[in-house]
Amino acid sequence: MGKDLLILSVRRVVDCEIALCEIANRKCGSTQLKNFFVAVSWLGDGKAWYGLMIALPLLYGRSGLATSSAMVKVAVVNLLIYKIVKTLAGRERPCVVSEHIALGAAPLDQYSFPSGHTMHAVAFSLIVMSDHPEWACVLLPFSFSIALSRIVLGLHYPTDVIAGGLIGGCVAAAFV
């Protein structure tokens, strides 16, 4: 009985997530909005973070170099966790599960759980903001937009994004 209840509960959560993904994907279907989320997701592939890692030492000298160094260390830890969890979870992406979700950008790999984009966005933002809090007004909305883009583009479920944010936050906390 307990196992059946657990399976039913998980199924309900998955059904709700798929419905949320379908709504987000459909509601953000205008060309301009979709292009915005594609651009944000593309920047979140690493381009914005690499640029920031280069810019920080130029802007802040040794302090910026230390921040960039911490970002590199966090990236390595995040990548290891990401690869292990993705392989173990093997969760199909929403755009594969539902025919009502249009793929908005090419996925970087096969599985959805957790969101690596969100994991890195949260971790890097926390590292940078811990040393240079003035970046919060840029990094918080950017990271939120990255997380939202992953759902809107049909690449991730809300729990993928939440898990990615939690993992990224925990990894960053270990370095701060």
Query: Structure pTM?
Result: 0.89
So where are the chain's domains? 2-175
Give the chain's mean pLDDT: 92
State which H helix or E strand residue 14 sits in: helix 2-27
CA distances for 82 relative to 89, 106, 115, angstroms: 10, 18, 8
Q: Show Cβ contacts of residue 146 under 8 Å, excluding neighbours closer than 6 positions.
A: 40, 41, 43, 44, 117, 118, 121
- In the CATH scheme, what is the code of domain 2-175? 1.10.606.20
Percent of the chain with pLDDT over 90: 67
Three-state SS letters, 73-130: HHHHHHHHHHHHHHHHHCCECHHHHCCCCCCCCCCCCCECCCCHHHHHHHHHHHHHHH
